[in-house]
Amino acid sequence: MSNNGATLIDHTDFEKFPNEPYNGWVTKNVGWKLERKTDAGDTFLKFKEDSEGPMLAQLLEKPFRGLIIGRKYRLEVRTKALVVPNAHPTRLEFRRKGGADWFLRGASVTNPLWHIVEGTFTADAAEETLNIDVSNGWDPELPYSKKFYYPAFYSIELYLEPA
């Protein structure tokens, strides 16, 4: 398969992979739990709305092997905001494990329709662990359930970009 000349390396959706690890992606969040949901024919991961505390966490992590050093890769997450009244935007961030090697910072998720958030990186090693993190602005005066747009995750894909 290809996407604009790129080669699909890995595809994860939450209908085909109903249980953790989701095709190798494991949850790493602290406090905020994920649950699988089916709504209007879509199966996706979402945050449990009874979770508490600021949504500032490493969310999902997956090691990838066999990457080509020096080649460019693109991570895509199909996401949408589950809108909650008076909510603050949630931001997705992508990084490589083990440091501040961010390849996407602060992508707001406020759109209630499915859309792609993507980031690119150049492989420094044949094995890289990728992280999907979340962060948010929040107002301590609001009850926790009213503070955020809750992001939902439909699929995660990794592509090798053309040389």
DSSP conformation letters of 82-131: E--TTPBPEEEEEEETTTTEEEEEEEEE--SS-EEEEEEEE-SSS-EEEE
Domain of residue 9 covers 2-160
The answer to whether 46 and 134 have CB atoms below 8 angstroms apart is: no
> Which pLDDT score, from 0 to 100, does residue 11 have?
96
* Residue 96's pLDDT band (cuts 50, 70, 90): confident
Report which of residues 146 and 130 the model is more confident about: 130
> Which pLDDT score, from 0 to 100, does residue 35 have?
84
The answer to whether 64 and 159 have CB atoms below 8 angstroms apart is: no
Weakest-pLDDT range from 41-50, 104-113, 146-155: 146-155
How large is the greatest C-alpha to C-alpha distance in the chain, in angstroms? Answer: 50
* C-alpha closest to that of 80 among 26, 157, 154, 134: 154
> Which pLDDT score, from 0 to 100, does residue 138 have?
52
Q: Give the three-state DSSP class for 37.
A: strand
> Which pLDDT score, from 0 to 100, does residue 15 have?
87
* Residue 89's pLDDT band (cuts 50, 70, 90): low
Report CA Rg, the chain. 16
CATH of the domain at 34: 2.60.120.260
Q: Render pLDDT for 22-66 as a digit per residue (tens, 0 to 9).
A: 999 988 765 667 888 998 889 998 877 666 655 566 788 999 999
Q: Could you give the number of structural domains in the chain? A: 1
